[in-house]
Structure 1
Amino acid sequence: MGDDCREIEGERFTSREKKLLVQNVSAEDGGNYACQARLTHMGKQYVVLNGIAVNITERSGDGRRIPKITYPKNNSIEVPLGSTLVVDCNITDARDNTNRRCWTVNDTLVDTYYNESKRIREGFESCAAFQEHTMCTVNITFLEVRMEDYGLPFTCRAGVSAAYIMLELPAPDFRAYLVGGLGALALVAASALCVYNIFKIDIVLWYRSAFRSAGTIEDGKLYDAYVLYPKPQSESQSHDVDTLVLKILPEVLEQQCGYKLFIFGRDEFPGQAVANVIDENTKLCRRLIVIIVPAWLSFGLLKNMPEEQIAVYNALIQDGMKVILIELGKIEDYTAMPESIQYIRQKHGAIQWSGDFTEQSQCMKTRFWKKVRYHMPPQRYPPSAVQLQKRVPSNCTAGPELGSRKKNCPFMPG
């Protein structure tokens, strides 16, 4: 070493602890290198030099002297924002190579670039030596992935070899959105169905009232319902049934709601045969209302009554008429009833009467009459205002309970 020794400069040369790292080695890098250190001994300062001669050789052939980075491969990886990430750089190198292996960002060592925050750091290098090559791993750790990290190339370098990774935000999981949307839709549908099942009677009656169709129903029918009722033997039962059928039903369904009923014993012409009256008039009705009294003797009266047989036959077999069962009391067992009545009860259910038999207590807006109106056909032409003034009782109740006697029950058609 002579006096022409000069200080090494340039980006290719990096001093790291006690090592000098040279990138992109060329033939011009050969020569004598000296490391200078200052020591103090017994109060005196000394300059110590240690030199080394470097020869640059060129090799041709299979290129085993060039490090090979097996991962990363200039690829992108999806990483959620704010997560912790560790990425390994895997390098295969010649066993006697001393190439530098490190991570850089923006052509700067990662540890230097993030020196203040230390949020991203290069890890320790680990190597495993084999007969002809060495496999090394050096990782990079992201303590917290931030927005500024996305789209930035983080490069692993090993001598002249380099490969990078780029972070990307994960693509939206449309399946999760789809499942969530379908779940919300199913919940809304279930809630709507539940609300409808609870309030469907009021909803249907409101709809009929709000969107009333004008004109008559062209179905060839003259009556909205045929009323089929028993003839009990006891005087008290007969009085209750006659009051309901001949006074209360016409008061509410005909006068308040505007329906037209055919009631046997009230609407047939004198001298007509019973069978002919029933057969002809049930065919002219849109509904069949069947009144059932629990106190019948094992319901034998109903079983043997020709009127019931003809009316139910026409309703179920010939015309497919909808049947409305009204129970004048709670009925636990239907096994003694005719099979036709049992079938109707099982398929359509029944409406149970829970009021008294005073005409003054009835109003179309009570729960019982709402259920009856719900099963009746929609009305086309409501009664006139003058008729309503005369027909609606002055003490009609609008409350949900039958038998109360509050005043001012407004008219609600249909």
Structure 2
Amino acid sequence: VMGLLHLILVSTFLSVSMTSESFHAMEDEALVVKCPQNCQNRTIKWYITQTNQLIPAEEGGRIHSSGRFLWFLPTSKEDSGNYTCVTRYSNYTKQSTVSVMVYPHKQGICFPSWIRYPNDTGTLTSGRIVCPTIDNYAKATIVKWYKDCKPLQGPREKYSMGEKYLFIKRPQKTDEGHYTCHFTYIHSGNVYNVSATRPFIVKEEVSSPISPQIQYPTDNTVIQVEFGICRALLGIGKPNIAVVTWEVNEIKAEYLNTSRFREDHQFFMRRDREYYGESTLTIEEVTEEDLLSNFTCVALNEIENVVLTVTLQLKVPCKGDNHSTYITIGVLVLLVIIALLLILYQFFRIDIVLLCQGIFKPNKTQDDGKIYDAYVIYPKNRTNEANFVEYFVHQILPDVLENKHGYKLCIYGRDMLPGEDAANALEIRIQKSRRLIIILTPQLIQCEEFGYEHQIALYNALIQNNIKVILLEMETIGNYEGLQESLRYIIKQQGTIKWKEKYKECPHASNSKFWKLVRYHMPLRHKPLQLNYAV
């Protein structure tokens, strides 16, 4: 009855009908519809067009109205239809109709098949996509953007979000598609999801408007002050969109603790019509956390979004700042160089030492009372069978160390005079040697005749400490348990130089790792003493 009475009253006045807007929403999301009429200080009532049922203006119901706005919290697919907003004036009534279409959710589909929101058109130099109907939702927050139902991904330089917009830097044809903005809306303490979709098309542009140019500071600058100024050229003439602002760790400065951070904005135009924007970020009290934070200056207009990052450094009010900085940098660089040199030396220590010996050739006479560079101890072969160890001692070892590198060796059997007392000769020659080369083989464990020579050598090495030992492990011995305790002690202290099967291919190659290690442990080469004997 009330609906019929209302129709009678409306028909007696001049009415103007306007059906100019359509709204599309997904089921179970929030939808806020705005009446197309712009009526200030007028009472607006909402009706369901098909039934002329008045929609209540009290909050709390799933569907309710207030002024120009009609709320669906949340939507249901039964809400699809037409709704009329009526404004009554002194002598006539004005009404407008809006269309609402609610689509059910389908797997893999994030927007309705019929898109009614107008296209957004970008250029080859810039692209801005406006989130549809977001102005109808007070304090809405965009959570994410989708392109063709897939989450939008890309570098920060390519995409950036404003409060209502998505900016695409230098869009291409591959950027065309359907873009869906997903945002949250809070009403009466309840949080609702909202999504809206519109196509985006890239077109050629005859003229290319100027992009924002941040003039101060430069990217990756260290600012030694307690406040920062971001100044950007935003265009020739005042652009439709002009924003210059600061972000701290990708959070807008205006959302930070206002007791410490304060941001001031200024826009001005010069006589040459160059339009500038400035944003000054003041930090009342700089903390250690601020020194570790990234401060980003953001400048955008309708063409492009430009960002750069700076870091803070506490300002020290003394004249020697630059000098101290240079000294600190110099010390750090020097420490890094020293560390690198030490690492290189550890890896190439042997090659470096041998190279220096070859360059400087420290081949001089030394009055140390020694005659031989090394005395060689090896297990003797008592059979007539071929023995590689003896071949190594009598052929390969002298060829490499004596013939190629000028050392003088004392080898038992080769350097002993006929008729000499063996025990006395061994002791004298070991004492006259600068190094003791011991050939290690499993045969060494069972060789009883080797014991005396071995004891004299180790006595000089361990007790008198006047001769260094070089252990050449020609065959794998295992855990060395069968060797003398004194020999095991030396092995534990300095290890052995192991002869490997691969060295037999070129046993005389003095540049192999084996011979480099032997030469590294040998003494510096010395000329023999010129002894004058009185006749």
Q: TM-score, normalised by structure 2?
A: 0.39
Which structure has the larger Rg over C-alpha atoms? 1
Higher relative contact order (CA 8 A, sep 6+): 1
Q: In proportion to residue count, which structure has more strand?
A: 2
